[in-house]
Structure 1
């Protein structure tokens, strides 16, 4: 697979984080999870900056997709099942 998926979540019970994890697992999309603690101000500020660039609210989780062949990066915030379905289609041979 030429795409690397990283999922940024917050600790504890985050409904959108849990739903995204379930959907990625159901779609059989491998991902790395990084839990962003509230004390990690640097990471939180970076996620807010990304959200601002995308014109989105910084609602966790954040899904980052890196194409290792082209180094293109795309991503989204929150639980977005349609984007997960689209990603699954992209990953199919």
Structure 2
């Protein structure tokens, strides 16, 4: 369901179908990146553990499935004053879409 500002809501589902968090974004990938940043970060992108993220688009029966991972990185030199020295980066890779029948 699209809001007035064009964003859609996506609920993070676990394997049992319980929805724990809601992320919003213009695209499913944008919401998946937000969810991936909450994962336990690895030391580098290559060493980060991949985790399956299942995001159900609110108002539909679509579940977008991604592999997500996060890692810690040093903030850039031109960072704003409020930004910490170490930041969490994330990436996702789309695996597919499922349709749920409830």
Q: TM-score range by the shorter chain?
A: under 0.3
TM-score, scaled relative to structure 2 = 0.25
Larger-gyration structure (1/2): 2
Question: What is the TM-score of this pair, normalised by structure 1?
Answer: 0.26
Instruction: From the two aligned structures, give the one with the greater helix fraction.
Output: 1
Structure showing the higher strand proportion among its residues:
2
